[in-house]
Structure 1
């Protein structure tokens, strides 16, 4: 695809380069939002928890199971840590127990692929100078009411690493995202310190190559977003979200984009693909 023009205004680009994130309001239409949510409802209805599933945790990621690794090229379902009682049974319906669905919605699910490969997403990505961008993973995140787990401070480049680093995270709110239901928080300008650690895959699973730095809560700012808004996040930006203790969920659709022209996909990433996904566009 040739001749793609970046959709960000000069002011938006300046804001992105100064704080390394920018929110684009009304990125998705109400019809697009309802369509993505309705299709996910259908996928959840079809999902049988007894088949195979995994518990997702951002606080304990030293080991992972095959279900997690295989999800790189599949549509897989991950439960919230607090979804189960002491007896090992779900404490609420499965629809209110899932943490996320990933990591190949953008390739295997037609509606999600259509949105991901739309001209609006390509134009946004083009604004950041990508020549041959590839979406390496996609996630539908639920942030369930009452049990939605925290996501500890992290950098996207830790998980989706290329040499040189090239990740941009795209996170779109499918419901209003507020401080009450677990919105994103970030440290503006924290990308200037570079990548602090990586999430690497070895013979015995995955682990971090460095301990986590400590961060001061006062350095984070909340990023509240209306449904349909999209935030673009530099791969080195420190960001997080807290538990959702409210009665409202916080659905979102997330993509991680890397450059495939001149950047090498790291073989020790948790994602190992025989074939790279097709690019959003190419020269």
Structure 2
């Protein structure tokens, strides 16, 4: 049967900014996507790879080398920080990758077919009515490798995928079980209603990226936001079984813990924005003539 969003699910997403939809992907397709993810890890070459590490630690400068900045229309591989000892890999390459991105939805046939030709995804997007003309702008496999899978600090996606007006929406698919022990998502329900996007990840002149303050408009006052990791903030865990989907509003605060367990936590995620929204040259992610942002309903 084709998927249909219930009124209760739509209301829950609007209220919480995050919604788990159980069993969205049939098990055979979930397994196919997981198998394809592992094929990509097995088959990529280390020859000439800059060994770019992806980290969201507050103490680390955000990744911004050319390998990262030019990945918007390619499939590239980014390493876990803890997969290195004294500058050398301390485990096989297929167990050392943090994520694969950022254009699986255009450059890999399995993920392209799943993302752009899936009637259930199209039905969900239409019934959610978040976008009138949804455009897929990036897609990733996040591996959360056993023992070394890094934590993802509390954040919102709009800071990294900034449009005017704000319009980021994430589709997050569990390809393996995501549990509290291997780094499942947690979020702050309703945070998208009070969160003020005050900064954005920008390309820096001369190369690299930096999170910079968004200038206030005339007459606008800076809003003091809660310490999302402080006392009194109600975080809710969102454990998932393989095949579940999590919808994530671009302004909702979410995070995931490090994976120190013996089980990996593979997921596939893509993000969309509104086709009519302004996307400027300051953003780290840029469409190219060969791979423009992709219409979901095209």
Match of 2:270 among 234, 238, 255: 255
SS for the counterpart of 1:76 is strand
Query: Counterpart of 2:105?
Result: 106
CA deviation map 1:244-280 (0-9, x unaligned): 11111100001111110x3111321111122323301
Contact kept, 8 Å, 1:6 with 1:125, in 2: the verdict is no
Q: Deviation of residue 215 (structure 1)? A: 2.0
Map residues 7-156 of structure 1 onto 2, 5 A cutoff. Answer: 7-52=4-49, 53-59=51-57, 60-62=60-62, 64-86=64-86, 88-117=87-116, 118-129=118-129, 130-156=131-157
Q: Deviation of residue 27 (structure 1)? A: 0.6
CA deviation map 1:89-145 (0-9, x unaligned): 211111110000000000010010000011111112222322211110000011011
Distance 1:38 1:273, change over 3 A: same
Query: Counterpart of 2:209?
Result: 206
Q: Deviation of residue 235 (structure 1)? A: 0.5
Distance 1:63 1:26, change over 3 A: closer
Q: Deviation of residue 161 (structure 1)? A: 1.5
Task: Give the Cα separation in 1 of the matches to 2:10 and 2:239.
Answer: 20
Task: Give the Cα separation in 1 of the matches to 2:136 and 2:43.
Answer: 26
Aligned residues: 276
Task: Give the Cα separation in 2 of the matches to 1:213 and 1:249.
Answer: 32
Q: Deviation of residue 63 (structure 1)? A: 5.1
Gaps of 5+ in 1: none
Match of 1:234 among 226, 249, 254: 249
Task: Give the Cα separation in 2 of the matches to 1:268 and 1:21.
Answer: 28
Match of 1:220 among 221, 235, 239: 235
Task: Give the Cα separation in 2 of the matches to 1:74 and 1:61.
Answer: 23
Query: Counterpart of 1:272?
Result: 286
Contact kept, 8 Å, 2:54 with 2:63, in 1: the verdict is no
Task: Give the Cα separation in 2 of the matches to 1:34 and 1:71.
Answer: 26
Task: Give the Cα separation in 2 of the matches to 1:96 and 1:18.
Answer: 38
Query: Counterpart of 1:195?
Result: 197
Query: Counterpart of 2:221?
Result: none
CA deviation map 1:168-203 (0-9, x unaligned): 011011111111000001010111123242111121
SS for the counterpart of 1:71 is coil
Is residue 172 of structure 1 aligned with residue 173 of structure 2? yes
Aligned-residue RMSD, C-alpha: 1.8
Q: TM (normalized to structure 2)? A: 0.88
Contact kept, 8 Å, 1:58 with 1:152, in 2: the verdict is yes
Contact kept, 8 Å, 2:3 with 2:120, in 1: the verdict is no
